[in-house]
Each structure stands twice: as structure tokens, then as C-alpha cells.
Amino acid sequence: NKEHRVEFTPRNYNTEIGVSESILEIDGRTDFFIAELGMRGKGQIEMLSSICNLDIGAITAVGESHITFFKNLREIAMAKAEMAEILYKNNGVLFLNNDDRYSSLIEKKVNCRVIRFGRNNNIAFNFIEENVDEMGRFNFNFFKGDNRITNVGLNIPGYHNIYNACCAAAVCSYLNISGETIKAGIEGALIEGSRMEIIKKKDKIIINDCYNASPLSVKGAVDTLILISEKKNMRSVAILGDMLELGSGSPRFHREVGRYLSQKKVDVLIAFGEFASNICRGYSKSSDFNKNKNLCFYFKDKKELSGQIGSLLQSGDLVLIKGSRANKMEDIINLI
């Protein structure tokens, strides 16, 4: 914003090299440095937190991303909580999403100060969503005790992005940044390309969420697909590729996503890749699958899909495109 100079880790600069290079950009004019901390196993977050010498940490969600390096979600939660050690030494604070099922476990295990944010009005920072427009962008009110920031409008679609905005607002409020500045910052925020990007192409609308994929993020994107399709009365189409780094549970996670698509009444599923066949199995074998309405197509790879995609889509379709980074899902946009 105009009042503060902020440096941050760009794109996927979330490793020890990327974070360190980003820190080198800091100079005497920098007010705040924001770092995304990547995780490839136990000890990674602790190391990156020490490199950054954190004063404030935030965990927005615990999901299945990178579970190939861990036994279960509990281990992922504990790995994210590694930042608490340096926060305790620096008399810092850890912000937790009160609505994430692992927040209580994390709070019990850490020794630093914890502040929660979420929908519950009994916590330090909370929000209430007010309304949503036809493109899935929410307005919400943000509360800090008796103080509030009203009618905050997101430029980014997706209910899950309210939590990201609420986390940012909570941290800024803790730093005594004014409500006017917080609201302006949230309303002016834009996400880099291939993250919930709305593209109007010919007679279709595309939700470009190609940057990466995990079971949790796919479900969030599907929620947005259905929300917009119902608002605009459009046929909902999900084009999905493999979700990688899910370890031995990969087939199960892919089937679970397929069932979720069926439960949410996605009209058409188009999937490709080694593991994505399990998305189709979960979708088509779900009790919610409607044989008279729902369509499911599977292709072994992107090349096979590219020869057929034109015949699978219709005028007026709303199309979600999502998969792990290695799939280069953005190539599909050019085929539509």
C-alpha cells in the first residue's frame, strides 16, 4: 500500500534459496517482509523460520499438499507449527485459522502466543460474509472486538479467499494499521496469474486455477465453480489433471475429489493423467452421480485430450481448469 513499503517472496520462492534471495532485497526503507515458507519434510519450516527470524507467523490451513513427505495430516500440522520455536524466542505471535480442524492441536503443542481468526465471534478476529456477486466475489465484515471494518469487497472469487483476507486483516490490525488502509489493501489485492483467474473466452468463461492442486484446493475451486454456475445459470465443467506429491494415498485422495464433484453436482468432468482416472471413478460411481445429466471423460494424457476437447465443450460453459504444476494445465486454455 501507499503507507508502507513491503517486500515479499515472489512466485514460488519459498525454499531456503528463494527466501534467502528475497531477504537480500530488503533495505533500510522496508517496513515489512512477508515470506511464504515451503515444506519438503520435517525441519524445513523450522529452518526457514530461523532464516527469516520471524516475528509473526500464520497458518491458514492444514491440507494434504506434500503428504508424500509425511505419514498423515497430523504430522503436516506439526511441521507447520515448527515456526513457533523462533516466534517464542522473538516474543512473537502465531495466527491460526480457528475453523481449521488442526488449530487446537497446534495451539496445545506450541509455546508461543497464539491469536485466532475465523467465523466464530468469540475469538480475537472474526468475519461475517454479507453477500456474493455473480462471479463468486464476496463482501464481508471484519471484526476486532467492538471495532469493525464493514463491507470489504474481494476482487478474487472463492469463499476460501475470505479466510486469506481475514488472516491478512488480523495481522495488520495486530500491527496497528488503520482499518481504512486494511480495507483498501484487501480490495486492491490481486493474485498472480493462474490462481482463480476469470477469463472470458469466446462464448465460455474459464476459471484458470492452474498454478497447482491439492485435494483441499481442488474442493475450494469446485465450490467456486458451482457458486458461479448457479448464479449465472451455466453448465459446470471441471477439467482436472493429476494431483502430485500425495504419496501412497494418492488413489484414495483422487477418488475422494471425484466424489466431492458428484456431491456438488458438477455437470461434466474431464480428467487426464496417471492418477486422474481415480477422480473419474469417484465421480461416476458416487451415489450422487446422475446418469441422465452428468458426463465423465477420461484421457491418458494431455495430447489425447487436446484432440477431443473441442467436441466436449458447449457454448455457455463455465470451465474450471486445475491440476498440479507439472501438468502445465494452462496449455488447455489455448485449446478452448
**Predicted structure pTM score:** 0.93
The rounded distance, in Å, linking the Cα atoms of 304 and 178 is 53
Question: What confidence tens digit (pLDDT) does each residue in 25-51 have?
Answer: 899 999 999 999 999 899 999 999 999
Q: Under 8 Å CB-to-CB from 72, ≥6 apart: which residues?
A: none
The rounded distance, in Å, linking the Cα atoms of 150 and 288 is 39
Options 3.20.20.140, 2.160.10.10, 3.40.190.120, 3.40.1190.10; CATH for 6-187 is: 3.40.1190.10
User: 311 vs 157, 266, 276, 302, CA distance in Å?
Assistant: 28, 18, 20, 15
Q: Could you tell me what percent of the chain has a pLDDT over 70? A: 100
pLDDT at 11: 83
What are the extents of the domains in the chain? Answer: 6-187, 197-333
The model's confidence at residue 1, banded by pLDDT at 50, 70 and 90, is: low
pLDDT at 100: 97
The fourth-level CATH superfamily of domain 197-333 is Mur ligase, C-terminal domain (3.90.190.20)
